Amino acid sequence: MRQLSLALVLGASAVPATSLAQQCYPTNTSFAWSQPANVPIADDAADRWPTDATIRLAYGGQWCPDVEQFELRNKDDGSTIAAQVRLRTPVTIVENTAQALTVIDIDPEQPLAERTDYELVVRPPNPSLPAFAEYLIEFRTRATPMDDLDVNAFEGIRRVGLDGDTCGDNAPYAGVNANVPACLVSSKFRMRLEFQPLNRSEISYAIYRTSTTPLDEATMEPIPLEADNTRVPIDIQPGARDVTGAGVPLRPVIFEVLYAPLPRRDCYTVVMLDEYGRERGDFENTACVDLVVPEPCPRGCEGAQCMVVFPPPNPFETNEPIPGQMCPTLGLNGGDPDRPIPPVGEEPPPGAGGAGGGGSADGGVPGADGGQSEGGGSSDGCNQAPGAPAPWAWLALFPAVALLRRRR
Protein backbone atom coordinates (compact mmCIF):
# COMPACT_ATOMS: atom_id res chain seq x y z
CA MET A 1 0.00 0.00 0.00
CA ARG A 2 2.89 2.34 0.84
CA GLN A 3 4.46 1.73 -2.57
CA LEU A 4 1.20 2.38 -4.39
CA SER A 5 0.41 5.53 -2.39
CA LEU A 6 3.87 6.98 -2.89
CA ALA A 7 3.83 6.16 -6.59
CA LEU A 8 0.49 7.91 -6.99
CA VAL A 9 1.69 10.99 -5.11
CA LEU A 10 4.93 11.21 -7.08
CA GLY A 11 3.15 10.61 -10.35
CA ALA A 12 0.54 13.26 -9.62
CA SER A 13 3.12 15.81 -8.59
CA ALA A 14 5.68 15.21 -11.33
CA VAL A 15 3.93 17.26 -14.03
CA PRO A 16 2.88 20.28 -11.93
CA ALA A 17 6.35 20.50 -10.38
CA THR A 18 5.91 18.83 -7.01
CA SER A 19 3.06 21.20 -6.19
CA LEU A 20 1.39 18.74 -3.84
CA ALA A 21 4.56 17.84 -1.96
CA GLN A 22 5.62 21.45 -1.59
CA GLN A 23 2.43 22.27 0.30
CA CYS A 24 3.85 20.19 3.15
CA TYR A 25 6.43 22.83 4.07
CA PRO A 26 5.95 25.85 6.35
CA THR A 27 5.03 28.97 4.41
CA ASN A 28 5.65 31.64 7.07
CA THR A 29 9.05 33.30 7.43
CA SER A 30 11.40 32.58 10.34
CA PHE A 31 14.94 33.93 10.69
CA ALA A 32 17.65 31.54 11.86
CA TRP A 33 21.01 33.34 11.88
CA SER A 34 22.71 36.45 10.60
CA GLN A 35 26.17 37.85 9.94
CA PRO A 36 26.80 40.07 11.85
CA ALA A 37 25.10 38.42 14.81
CA ASN A 38 21.77 39.88 15.90
CA VAL A 39 22.90 41.20 19.30
CA PRO A 40 23.07 44.74 20.74
CA ILE A 41 25.96 46.83 19.46
CA ALA A 42 27.38 47.17 22.98
CA ASP A 43 27.22 43.42 23.68
CA ASP A 44 30.54 41.65 24.31
CA ALA A 45 29.57 39.13 21.62
CA ALA A 46 28.83 41.81 19.02
CA ASP A 47 30.92 41.75 15.86
CA ARG A 48 32.87 44.76 14.70
CA TRP A 49 32.07 44.31 11.03
CA PRO A 50 34.71 44.76 8.30
CA THR A 51 33.92 47.77 6.13
CA ASP A 52 33.72 45.64 2.96
CA ALA A 53 32.12 42.42 4.21
CA THR A 54 28.81 41.08 2.91
CA ILE A 55 25.88 41.02 5.35
CA ARG A 56 24.03 37.67 5.45
CA LEU A 57 20.74 36.39 6.85
CA ALA A 58 19.25 32.91 6.74
CA TYR A 59 15.50 32.30 6.82
CA GLY A 60 12.94 29.57 6.36
CA GLY A 61 9.56 29.81 4.66
CA GLN A 62 8.17 30.71 1.27
CA TRP A 63 9.17 34.28 0.57
CA CYS A 64 10.90 36.01 -2.33
CA PRO A 65 11.68 39.52 -1.04
CA ASP A 66 11.46 42.79 -2.90
CA VAL A 67 13.45 45.97 -2.24
CA GLU A 68 10.57 47.63 -0.38
CA GLN A 69 10.99 45.04 2.39
CA PHE A 70 14.59 46.07 3.22
CA GLU A 71 16.08 49.11 4.91
CA LEU A 72 19.85 49.52 5.20
CA ARG A 73 21.04 52.83 6.56
CA ASN A 74 23.73 54.69 8.45
CA LYS A 75 22.37 55.27 11.97
CA ASP A 76 24.58 58.28 12.53
CA ASP A 77 23.36 60.43 9.62
CA GLY A 78 20.31 58.49 8.35
CA SER A 79 21.69 57.99 4.84
CA THR A 80 20.67 54.88 2.90
CA ILE A 81 23.15 52.36 1.52
CA ALA A 82 23.06 51.15 -2.08
CA ALA A 83 23.55 47.39 -2.22
CA GLN A 84 23.07 44.28 -4.31
CA VAL A 85 20.79 41.68 -2.69
CA ARG A 86 21.23 38.04 -3.70
CA LEU A 87 19.33 34.97 -2.51
CA ARG A 88 20.10 31.27 -2.68
CA THR A 89 18.47 28.09 -1.39
CA PRO A 90 20.15 24.66 -1.29
CA VAL A 91 18.16 21.58 -2.13
CA THR A 92 16.18 19.31 0.22
CA ILE A 93 17.21 15.67 -0.05
CA VAL A 94 14.28 13.92 1.70
CA GLU A 95 10.81 14.99 0.60
CA ASN A 96 8.51 16.71 3.12
CA THR A 97 11.22 17.09 5.76
CA ALA A 98 12.86 20.22 7.15
CA GLN A 99 13.81 22.48 4.26
CA ALA A 100 17.16 24.05 3.69
CA LEU A 101 17.24 27.71 4.67
CA THR A 102 17.42 30.49 2.12
CA VAL A 103 20.40 32.81 2.56
CA ILE A 104 20.26 36.52 1.72
CA ASP A 105 23.51 38.27 0.80
CA ILE A 106 23.35 42.06 1.14
CA ASP A 107 26.43 43.46 -0.58
CA PRO A 108 26.94 47.25 -0.33
CA GLU A 109 28.28 48.82 -3.53
CA GLN A 110 30.78 50.96 -1.62
CA PRO A 111 32.74 50.11 1.54
CA LEU A 112 30.93 51.20 4.69
CA ALA A 113 32.27 54.07 6.78
CA GLU A 114 34.78 53.21 9.48
CA ARG A 115 33.67 52.93 13.12
CA THR A 116 30.09 53.77 12.23
CA ASP A 117 26.77 52.31 13.38
CA TYR A 118 24.41 50.78 10.81
CA GLU A 119 21.04 49.12 10.93
CA LEU A 120 19.31 46.65 8.65
CA VAL A 121 15.55 46.14 8.89
CA VAL A 122 13.82 43.27 7.07
CA ARG A 123 10.02 43.08 6.91
CA PRO A 124 8.68 39.80 5.49
CA PRO A 125 4.97 39.87 4.63
CA ASN A 126 4.33 36.48 6.28
CA PRO A 127 6.24 36.32 9.60
CA SER A 128 5.81 33.18 11.67
CA LEU A 129 6.17 35.16 14.91
CA PRO A 130 5.67 38.84 15.80
CA ALA A 131 9.42 39.05 16.48
CA PHE A 132 10.06 38.40 12.79
CA ALA A 133 7.61 41.02 11.48
CA GLU A 134 10.32 43.70 11.62
CA TYR A 135 13.63 41.95 11.98
CA LEU A 136 16.30 44.43 13.10
CA ILE A 137 20.07 43.95 12.97
CA GLU A 138 22.32 46.70 14.32
CA PHE A 139 26.10 46.60 14.00
CA ARG A 140 29.18 48.77 14.16
CA THR A 141 31.98 48.70 11.61
CA ARG A 142 35.63 48.42 12.50
CA ALA A 143 38.35 50.63 11.02
CA THR A 144 39.59 48.11 8.46
CA PRO A 145 38.31 45.93 5.60
CA MET A 146 38.37 42.14 5.67
CA ASP A 147 41.69 40.42 6.21
CA ASP A 148 43.08 38.48 3.27
CA LEU A 149 41.62 35.00 3.04
CA ASP A 150 44.18 32.23 3.42
CA VAL A 151 42.37 29.28 1.87
CA ASN A 152 45.09 26.92 3.08
CA ALA A 153 44.17 27.71 6.69
CA PHE A 154 40.80 25.99 6.29
CA GLU A 155 41.06 22.23 6.66
CA GLY A 156 37.60 21.55 5.22
CA ILE A 157 35.42 18.63 6.23
CA ARG A 158 36.67 16.43 9.04
CA ARG A 159 34.21 13.50 9.15
CA VAL A 160 30.70 12.36 8.30
CA GLY A 161 28.62 9.42 9.53
CA LEU A 162 25.38 8.36 11.16
CA ASP A 163 24.31 10.62 14.01
CA GLY A 164 24.25 8.05 16.78
CA ASP A 165 23.88 4.33 17.40
CA THR A 166 21.29 2.44 15.36
CA CYS A 167 20.57 0.37 18.49
CA GLY A 168 20.42 3.35 20.82
CA ASP A 169 17.42 5.18 22.27
CA ASN A 170 17.60 7.87 19.59
CA ALA A 171 18.53 5.77 16.59
CA PRO A 172 19.58 7.72 13.47
CA TYR A 173 16.89 5.96 11.45
CA ALA A 174 13.20 6.69 10.88
CA GLY A 175 10.80 4.52 8.92
CA VAL A 176 8.30 5.79 6.41
CA ASN A 177 5.85 8.35 7.83
CA ALA A 178 2.48 8.11 6.08
CA ASN A 179 0.32 9.68 8.80
CA VAL A 180 -0.67 12.40 6.33
CA PRO A 181 -1.10 10.74 2.90
CA ALA A 182 -0.45 13.96 1.00
CA CYS A 183 2.80 14.48 2.91
CA LEU A 184 4.50 11.09 2.85
CA VAL A 185 8.03 11.02 4.24
CA SER A 186 10.34 8.25 3.07
CA SER A 187 12.50 6.16 5.38
CA LYS A 188 15.66 8.10 6.20
CA PHE A 189 18.97 8.21 8.01
CA ARG A 190 20.01 11.08 10.27
CA MET A 191 23.58 12.13 9.53
CA ARG A 192 26.25 14.15 11.34
CA LEU A 193 28.96 16.07 9.50
CA GLU A 194 31.78 17.94 11.26
CA PHE A 195 34.18 20.67 10.19
CA GLN A 196 36.37 23.23 11.92
CA PRO A 197 35.35 26.85 11.14
CA LEU A 198 37.97 29.55 11.02
CA ASN A 199 37.98 32.31 13.62
CA ARG A 200 36.31 34.64 11.08
CA SER A 201 32.69 35.62 11.69
CA GLU A 202 32.29 37.20 8.23
CA ILE A 203 33.01 33.96 6.33
CA SER A 204 30.25 31.43 5.61
CA TYR A 205 30.47 27.79 4.58
CA ALA A 206 28.70 25.80 1.86
CA ILE A 207 28.17 22.05 2.34
CA TYR A 208 27.86 19.72 -0.65
CA ARG A 209 27.18 16.10 -1.27
CA THR A 210 29.77 15.50 -3.96
CA SER A 211 28.84 11.95 -4.98
CA THR A 212 26.68 8.92 -4.22
CA THR A 213 27.90 5.54 -5.43
CA PRO A 214 26.29 2.08 -5.23
CA LEU A 215 28.31 -0.64 -3.48
CA ASP A 216 28.60 -4.20 -4.67
CA GLU A 217 26.64 -6.28 -2.15
CA ALA A 218 29.13 -9.15 -2.29
CA THR A 219 32.41 -7.22 -2.00
CA MET A 220 31.13 -3.87 -0.62
CA GLU A 221 33.33 -2.15 -3.17
CA PRO A 222 32.03 0.94 -5.01
CA ILE A 223 30.71 0.59 -8.55
CA PRO A 224 32.24 3.66 -10.28
CA LEU A 225 30.26 3.31 -13.50
CA GLU A 226 27.01 3.76 -11.54
CA ALA A 227 28.21 6.72 -9.48
CA ASP A 228 26.34 10.02 -9.48
CA ASN A 229 29.03 12.69 -9.18
CA THR A 230 26.68 15.66 -9.30
CA ARG A 231 27.53 18.18 -6.59
CA VAL A 232 24.39 18.78 -4.57
CA PRO A 233 24.34 21.82 -2.22
CA ILE A 234 22.57 20.84 0.99
CA ASP A 235 23.38 23.57 3.51
CA ILE A 236 24.98 26.95 4.20
CA GLN A 237 26.49 27.50 7.64
CA PRO A 238 27.36 30.83 9.31
CA GLY A 239 30.84 31.88 10.34
CA ALA A 240 32.29 31.66 13.84
CA ARG A 241 34.33 33.78 16.22
CA ASP A 242 36.24 32.94 19.38
CA VAL A 243 34.56 35.09 22.05
CA THR A 244 35.74 33.11 25.12
CA GLY A 245 39.43 32.59 24.37
CA ALA A 246 38.95 28.83 24.28
CA GLY A 247 39.04 28.63 20.50
CA VAL A 248 36.32 28.13 17.91
CA PRO A 249 34.54 24.83 18.61
CA LEU A 250 34.18 22.06 16.07
CA ARG A 251 30.97 22.59 14.06
CA PRO A 252 28.50 19.68 13.87
CA VAL A 253 25.88 19.79 11.10
CA ILE A 254 22.88 17.46 11.37
CA PHE A 255 20.95 16.58 8.21
CA GLU A 256 18.86 13.77 6.76
CA VAL A 257 19.31 11.54 3.73
CA LEU A 258 17.17 8.88 2.11
CA TYR A 259 17.43 5.33 3.42
CA ALA A 260 17.22 3.87 -0.09
CA PRO A 261 19.05 2.78 -2.15
CA LEU A 262 21.41 0.61 -0.11
CA PRO A 263 24.24 -0.22 0.07
CA ARG A 264 25.92 2.96 -1.14
CA ARG A 265 28.77 5.37 -0.41
CA ASP A 266 27.99 9.09 0.01
CA CYS A 267 30.76 11.70 -0.01
CA TYR A 268 30.63 15.30 1.22
CA THR A 269 32.75 18.44 1.26
CA VAL A 270 32.74 21.89 2.89
CA VAL A 271 34.03 25.04 1.18
CA MET A 272 34.21 28.66 2.29
CA LEU A 273 32.19 31.58 0.93
CA ASP A 274 34.54 34.54 0.76
CA GLU A 275 33.84 38.27 0.94
CA TYR A 276 32.40 38.14 -2.57
CA GLY A 277 30.45 35.00 -1.71
CA ARG A 278 32.70 33.05 -4.08
CA GLU A 279 33.43 29.46 -3.12
CA ARG A 280 37.00 28.92 -1.91
CA GLY A 281 38.62 25.69 -0.91
CA ASP A 282 39.11 22.21 -2.28
CA PHE A 283 36.17 20.19 -3.63
CA GLU A 284 38.47 17.16 -3.77
CA ASN A 285 38.82 17.26 0.03
CA THR A 286 35.93 14.94 0.90
CA ALA A 287 34.75 12.65 3.69
CA CYS A 288 32.69 9.58 2.84
CA VAL A 289 30.38 7.17 4.63
CA ASP A 290 29.22 3.70 3.61
CA LEU A 291 25.50 3.26 4.24
CA VAL A 292 24.12 -0.27 4.61
CA VAL A 293 21.08 -1.92 6.19
CA PRO A 294 21.83 -1.78 9.95
CA GLU A 295 22.30 -5.00 11.86
CA PRO A 296 19.33 -6.24 13.94
CA CYS A 297 19.22 -5.00 17.52
CA PRO A 298 18.16 -6.98 20.62
CA ARG A 299 15.27 -5.58 22.63
CA GLY A 300 16.54 -6.99 25.91
CA CYS A 301 14.73 -10.31 25.79
CA GLU A 302 15.24 -13.66 24.07
CA GLY A 303 13.90 -15.03 20.80
CA ALA A 304 13.44 -13.71 17.27
CA GLN A 305 10.47 -11.59 18.34
CA CYS A 306 12.82 -9.65 20.61
CA MET A 307 14.92 -8.25 17.77
CA VAL A 308 14.56 -4.89 16.05
CA VAL A 309 14.99 -5.69 12.37
CA PHE A 310 15.64 -2.89 9.89
CA PRO A 311 13.74 -3.23 6.59
CA PRO A 312 15.32 -3.76 3.20
CA PRO A 313 15.40 -0.52 1.14
CA ASN A 314 12.19 0.18 -0.74
CA PRO A 315 12.91 1.27 -4.35
CA PHE A 316 9.81 3.50 -4.28
CA GLU A 317 11.16 5.49 -1.34
CA THR A 318 13.51 7.65 -3.36
CA ASN A 319 13.31 11.08 -4.92
CA GLU A 320 15.58 13.48 -6.73
CA PRO A 321 16.94 16.39 -4.65
CA ILE A 322 14.09 18.87 -4.33
CA PRO A 323 14.96 22.36 -5.68
CA GLY A 324 14.76 25.38 -3.45
CA GLN A 325 12.99 28.57 -4.38
CA MET A 326 14.45 30.79 -7.07
CA CYS A 327 14.38 34.50 -6.26
CA PRO A 328 15.72 37.34 -8.42
CA THR A 329 18.71 39.47 -7.49
CA LEU A 330 17.67 42.93 -6.26
CA GLY A 331 19.15 46.42 -6.34
CA LEU A 332 18.59 48.09 -2.96
CA ASN A 333 18.59 51.91 -2.69
CA GLY A 334 19.67 52.30 -6.31
CA GLY A 335 22.16 49.44 -6.26
CA ASP A 336 22.82 47.52 -9.48
CA PRO A 337 21.20 44.06 -9.37
CA ASP A 338 23.35 42.98 -12.33
CA ARG A 339 26.71 44.10 -10.95
CA PRO A 340 29.22 41.41 -12.03
CA ILE A 341 31.42 39.44 -9.68
CA PRO A 342 35.12 39.34 -10.59
CA PRO A 343 36.94 35.99 -10.82
CA VAL A 344 39.38 35.14 -8.05
CA GLY A 345 42.57 37.13 -8.56
CA GLU A 346 40.96 39.69 -10.88
CA GLU A 347 39.50 42.01 -8.27
CA PRO A 348 39.69 45.70 -9.23
CA PRO A 349 42.01 47.92 -7.16
CA PRO A 350 40.63 50.13 -4.37
CA GLY A 351 38.61 53.05 -5.68
CA ALA A 352 37.90 51.51 -9.08
CA GLY A 353 34.18 52.00 -9.39
CA GLY A 354 33.60 51.21 -5.77
CA ALA A 355 35.16 47.78 -6.05
CA GLY A 356 38.25 46.65 -4.23
CA GLY A 357 41.28 44.47 -4.65
CA GLY A 358 43.48 42.50 -2.35
CA GLY A 359 43.04 39.08 -0.91
CA SER A 360 44.49 35.76 -1.86
CA ALA A 361 44.28 34.80 -5.51
CA ASP A 362 44.52 31.04 -5.02
CA GLY A 363 42.07 28.40 -3.93
CA GLY A 364 39.14 29.22 -6.17
CA VAL A 365 36.82 26.37 -7.10
CA PRO A 366 34.47 25.92 -10.04
CA GLY A 367 30.76 26.60 -9.76
CA ALA A 368 28.30 23.94 -8.64
CA ASP A 369 26.40 21.54 -10.86
CA GLY A 370 23.07 22.19 -9.26
CA GLY A 371 21.09 24.49 -7.12
CA GLN A 372 22.07 26.22 -4.10
CA SER A 373 21.26 27.28 2.19
CA GLU A 374 21.21 25.75 6.64
CA GLY A 375 18.99 22.75 6.83
CA GLY A 376 16.52 24.18 9.25
CA GLY A 377 12.83 24.86 9.29
CA SER A 378 10.42 22.59 11.07
CA SER A 379 10.07 18.92 11.79
CA ASP A 380 8.19 16.55 9.52
CA GLY A 381 4.63 17.60 8.96
CA CYS A 382 2.07 18.87 6.52
CA ASN A 383 0.97 22.45 6.20
CA GLN A 384 -1.46 22.53 3.30
CA ALA A 385 -2.12 26.20 3.63
CA PRO A 386 -4.28 27.83 0.98
CA GLY A 387 -2.72 30.62 -0.95
CA ALA A 388 0.75 29.08 -1.03
CA PRO A 389 3.09 30.37 -3.75
CA ALA A 390 2.56 29.04 -7.25
CA PRO A 391 4.31 25.71 -7.87
CA TRP A 392 6.64 27.11 -10.50
CA ALA A 393 8.28 29.30 -7.87
CA TRP A 394 9.79 26.14 -6.35
CA LEU A 395 10.78 24.41 -9.60
CA ALA A 396 14.17 25.57 -10.62
CA LEU A 397 17.32 25.24 -8.60
CA PHE A 398 18.67 28.62 -7.61
CA PRO A 399 21.61 29.24 -9.94
CA ALA A 400 24.67 27.23 -9.04
CA VAL A 401 26.41 28.92 -6.16
CA ALA A 402 26.25 32.48 -7.46
CA LEU A 403 29.59 34.21 -7.60
CA LEU A 404 29.24 37.11 -5.26
CA ARG A 405 31.13 40.36 -4.96
CA ARG A 406 33.83 41.64 -2.69
CA ARG A 407 34.91 45.21 -2.19
CA ARG A 408 38.39 45.92 -1.19
**pLDDT of 44:** 84
Question: Is pLDDT of 6 > 60?
Answer: no
**pLDDT of 16:** 29
74-133: pLDDT as tens digits: 999 999 999 999 999 999 999 998 889 999 999 999 999 999 999 999 999 999 999 999
Question: Is pLDDT of 8 > 90?
Answer: no
**pLDDT of 308:** 85
Q: What is the mean pLDDT of residues 314-318?
A: 90
**Distance in angstroms (rounded) separating the CA atoms of residues 101 and 90:** 7
244-277: pLDDT as tens digits: 889 999 999 999 999 999 999 999 999 999 877 8
Q: What is the mean pLDDT of residues 181-188?
A: 92
Question: Is pLDDT of 201 > 90?
Answer: yes
- Long-range contacts: 154-157, Cβ < 8 Å, 24+? 154/196, 154/198, 154/272, 154/280, 154/281, 155/195, 155/196, 155/285, 156/195, 156/269, 156/270, 156/271, 156/281, 156/282, 156/285, 157/193, 157/194, 157/195, 157/268, 157/269, 157/270, 157/285, 157/286, 157/287
Q: How far is CA 327 from the centre of its chain?
A: 15
Q: Show me where the domains of the chain are located.
A: 2-149+323-359+379-394, 151-308
Task: List the beta bridge partners of residue 173.
Answer: 189
**pLDDT of 356:** 38
Q: What is the mean pLDDT of residues 26-44?
A: 94
How many CA atoms are closer than 13 Å to the CA of 143, on its beta-carbon side?
A: 0
Tell me the pLDDT band of 204, cut-offs 50, 70 and 90.
very high
**pLDDT of 2:** 39
**pLDDT of 399:** 36
**pLDDT of 23:** 66
Question: Is pLDDT of 406 > 50?
Answer: no
**pLDDT of 3:** 39
Q: How far is CA 14 from the centre of its chain?
A: 25
393-405: pLDDT as tens digits: 333 333 333 333 3
* Region of poorest pLDDT, from 134-138, 175-179, 320-324, 363-367: 363-367
Buried b / exposed e over 274-308, threshold 16 CB at 10 Å, is bbbbbbbbbbeebbbbebeebeebeeeeeeeeeee
**β-strands 135-141, 48-49: how paired?**
parallel
**pLDDT of 398:** 35
Q: What is the mean pLDDT of residues 23-28?
A: 85
* Region of poorest pLDDT, from 2-16, 76-90, 307-321: 2-16
Question: Is pLDDT of 56 > 60?
Answer: yes
Tell me the pLDDT band of 64, cut-offs 50, 70 and 90.
very high
Question: Is pLDDT of 206 > 70?
Answer: yes
Three-state SS for 295? Answer: coil
Question: Is pLDDT of 350 > 90?
Answer: no
Q: What is the mean pLDDT of the chain?
A: 82
* Region of poorest pLDDT, from 126-135, 211-220, 321-330, 393-402: 393-402
Three-state SS for 69? Answer: helix
Which CATH number is 2-149+323-359+379-394 given?
A: 2.60.40.1220
* Region of poorest pLDDT, from 107-111, 138-142, 298-302, 354-358: 354-358
